Amino acid sequence: SSTDENGTKIRKVKVAFDQSSKPISYIDENGNPTGYDVEVMKLVDKLLPEYEFEYVGTTSDDLLLGVEQGKFQVGVKNAFWTEERTKKFIYPKEFLGLSSTGLVLKKENKEIKSLEDFASAGYTLAPIAANNAQYTVIDEYNQSHPDNKIKLKAGETFSVDVVQWVNEGRVDGGVMIEGPFKKQVEEKNGPYHHLVNDVVYNEFAVIKTWPLFNKKEQEFADAYDQAIKQLQEKKETNELSKKFYGRDLFEVLDQAKK
């Protein structure tokens, strides 16, 4: 720690982010960290003069372990809330953002609106990395619907290109967050814009996302809560949601799951 010109103590903290999860958190062409989660944290930093944030890009495996081990004080990676994680991390009181999570399907399957529908149809799902909370979402669904399970497979993020896989029929559906889907398919210069009439995105939940704090960082988490409240009141998070996800998800906050 060091001191600023006013003599207040400044504490340096490491903020880990998943570096390959555009548009939530990523490294832009110039090598700078950005994305919804990162930009929110940057605003938080501005409101917390006693902290100085340093952003460390990494993989989500490393992020989870690094925060747990204390290598990083906090980590952002579009993290959902799960029971197991509360044992390893501090969840602050206030969430960081919202994530529209949905199923990517072929046009002809657009009637499938929920995980129940998907499971009853007996469809195959694109693999999800085991440490991704989407995996937990599906897993939890399976546990609460033992008679109507979804075929869940663990895999590797880089090798799974959900839109392409669904379109070519390698799988019937994949879990995706709305932001990337929009950027990929719906935007004019998106790499899969030509598939805009072939695949659909059916939201099945809006889920709150959280920063994960190291267990020793209760004080820091409290400071974060203060700051994020101000930001949400000033609607700054809404702006960022529009910027990165193309939609103000805070409009549907009332439907959001924890």
Partner 1 sequence: MEKYFDASYIFKSIPMLLPFLKVTFIVTGLSVMFGTILGFILAMGKIGKGKIARKIANGYTTALRCTPSIVLLFLVYYGVPALLEKFSVQTSNVDKIVFVVITFSLQFGAFMSEVIRSAYESVDKGQFEAAVSVGLSPFQAYRRIVFPQAFVVAIPNFGNSLLELIKEGSLAYTIGLIDVMGKANLIIASNYNAHALEIYLALSIIYWIISIVIEQVFLKFEKGFSKGKQSLKST
Partner 2 sequence: MQGSFNLEFLVDTFFVALSGVPTALIITIVALIVASPFGFLLALTRINRIPILSQFSRIYVSFVRGTPVIVQIFIIYNSVPLVISSLFSKLHIDKNVYEVNPIWYAFIVFSLNTIAILIEIFRSSLITVSKGQLEAAQSVGLTNVQAYRRIIIPQALVVALPNICTATVNLIKATSLGYAMSLPEITLKAKVAANVGYNYVEAYIDIFLVYLIICSLTEYGFKLFERKLSSYKTTTAKGGQQYA
Q: Between 35 and 227, whose beta carbon lies closer to partner 1?
A: 35
Measured CA to CA, the distance from residue 100 to residue 205 in angstroms comes to: 6
Among 77, 85, 183, 208, binds partner 1 (CB under 8 A): 183
Does 10 engage in binding with partner 1 (CB under 8 A)?
A: no
- In the block, tokens 């548009």 appear at 23
- Taking the least distance from each CB to partner 1, the nearer of 59 and 241 is 59
The gap between the terminal CA atoms of the chain, to the nearest Å, is 34
Q: How far apart are the C-alpha atoms of 41 and 47, rounded to whole Å?
A: 10
Q: Which residue has the tokens 């902290």?
A: 51
* Residue of 135, 141, 181, 220 that binds partner 2 (CB under 8 A): 135
Which stretch in 1-9, 12-20, 103-111, 233-241 sits in contact with partner 1 by CB under 8 A? 12-20
Stretch in the footprint of partner 2 (CB under 8 A) among 1-9, 110-118, 156-164, 202-210: 156-164
Site for partner 1 in 82-141 (CB under 8 A): none
Among 1, 8, 46, 61, binds partner 1 (CB under 8 A): 61
Compute how many other C-beta atoms are within 10 angstroms of the C-beta atom of residue 145.
14
Site map 184..223 versus partner 1, x via CB under 8 A? x-----xxx-xx----------------------------
Residue 21 interacts with which of partner 2, partner 1, none, CB < 5 to 8 Å by class: partner 1
Phi, psi of 117 (to 5 degrees): -55, -45
Which string of x and - marks every residue 24-53 that binds partner 1 (by CB under 8 A)? --xxxx------------------------
Nearest to 177 by CA among 111, 110, 252, 100: 100
Neighbour tally for 43: CB within 10 Å: 18
Pair of tokens at residue 89: 């991390």
Question: From the list 10, 47, 65, 256, which residue makes contact with partner 1 (rule: CB under 8 A)?
Answer: 65
DSSP code at position 249: G
Structure token pair of residue 173: 């559906």
**Do residues 74 and 223 make contact, with C-beta atoms less than 8 angstroms apart?**
no
Q: Which residues contact 189 (CB under 8 A, 6 or more apart)?
A: none
**Nearer residue to partner 2 within complex by CB, 54 or 156:** 156
Residue 58, helix vs strand vs coil: strand
- Contact flag: residue 171 with partner 1 (CB under 8 A): no
Please answer whether residues 107 and 156 qualify as being in contact, where contact means their C-beta atoms are separated by less than 8 angstroms.
no
Asked if residue 219 binds partner 2 (CB under 8 A), the reply is no
Which pair of tokens denotes residue 94?
Answer: 């206030």
Residues that bind partner 1 (CB under 8 A): 14, 19-22, 26-29, 57-59, 61-62, 65-66, 69-72, 157-164, 168, 180, 183-184, 190-192, 194-195
- Interface contacts to partner 2, rule CB under 8 A: 61, 64-65, 68-70, 84-85, 87-88, 127, 130-131, 135, 153-156, 158-161, 165, 168-171, 215
